[in-house]
Structure 1
């Protein structure tokens, strides 16, 4: 890179040649050869970037479009992706959502933070009756059918565990004689 003059203006011929020599990414129109162009025209990389932006502003080069980016990393989140994240965040961790969507954990956390806290689904009488009528205990009073309850109530295990704990404190459900896994799961675990 040469630096003859500090304020060296681009000539129309240089700008025409610039348009012919520029190499752009097919999906986003990002310029891939700033360094080569800087060497070719004897300019700084920053000067080449300014010229590219000037040509884009005039409409002589296509605009940079991050939405069309094939690779998910670093691209914008579409409305559909944000809606999917909001639906998944009550039942999955940020890491699981990131793996499902091909994004980073930190990107998912950022989207969740911007969208605000999860809206809590309140328990109504019909949900409580469903819980009380379908709950099964082992001989020690430990809940044995969380899988069935999650499907019936359409809630995650943590929410159901917390509700059962509160119902036991109120005396609606009998207290457990011990904590931990139900007898069936303990037997399976011991057989391993």
Structure 2
């Protein structure tokens, strides 16, 4: 199809734009002009370059899910974290998820825009850990998600603190592998043996090694 100026004007007029200026009705436009969707997409790109259609701006997205972070939001995150706000508090203020804010904080630290956070623990936080931690029969922690939510800390940070509390004698030492982890490992082991699938020997050896390592913790 040869795009005339009249056809271009029709495309601009019939294009339905989202709040981000993305074209929502590419399929319908392709049917109207009797061309493929790729042809419409290419023409839309050309019209944007010529200024006949507005450029896509993801920062205008109304839905917060997967919406790109603006420079203003990033500056706010830096200021809030430096002021002592937690990731959960910042997420609530910006209508974002905890995981999204935590990821941005890590990126800002990695790029030098935010100083690394020092992990300090108050006696009250230690008491909270000791009050709500759930240990299995071998002394392994069985409720890390609950601890992470209550303390607004990552799994790794909490794991390190629990290790420290064990060293201080405030929590019992581990006497064996995690029962939950060992059971999951054994179920996987049984499935592989039952299937007898290709490459099963290698997988079985890996699981046996995992079980042996877990029993030595």
**TM-score, normalised relative to structure 2:** 0.46
Secondary structure of the residue aligned to 1:15 is: helix
Q: Which has the higher contact order (CA 8 A, sep 6+)?
A: 1
**CA offsets per residue over residues 80-107 of structure 1, 9 Å max, x none?**
32234343497635x6754553334553
Q: Secondary structure at the match of 1:29?
A: coil
Contact 1:55 1:61 (C-alpha < 8 Å) held by counterparts: yes
Matches within 5 A, 1:58-97: 58-86=50-78, 87-88=80-81, 92=86, 97=90
Partner of 1:22: 15
Contact 1:73 1:102 in 2 (8 A): no
8 Å CA contact 1:52, 1:61 repeated in 2: yes
How has the CA–CA distance of structure 1 residues 145 and 51 changed in structure 2, closer, same or farther, with 3 Å as cutoff?
A: closer
RMSD value over aligned CA atoms? Answer: 4.2
Instruction: Give the deviation of 1:32 after TM superposition.
Output: 1.0
Equivalent pair of 1:22/1:37 in contact (CA under 8 Å)? yes
Kindly tell me the number of residue pairs found equivalent between the two proteins.
133
Structure 1 or 2: more helix by fraction: 2
Alignment check: 8 A CA contact 1:28 1:67 kept: yes
What is aligned with 2:44?
52
Gaps of 5+ in 2: 128-151, 172-217
What do residues 4-38 of structure 1 show as CA deviations (whole Å, max 9, x unaligned)?
Answer: xxxx332222212111111112x322211011001
The residue that corresponds to 1:179 in the other structure is 170
Pairing of 1:134-173 with structure 2 (within 5 A): none
Q: Tell me the equivalent position of 2:193.
A: none
State the Cα distance separating 1:51 from its structure 2 match.
0.6
Map of 1:187 onto structure 2: none
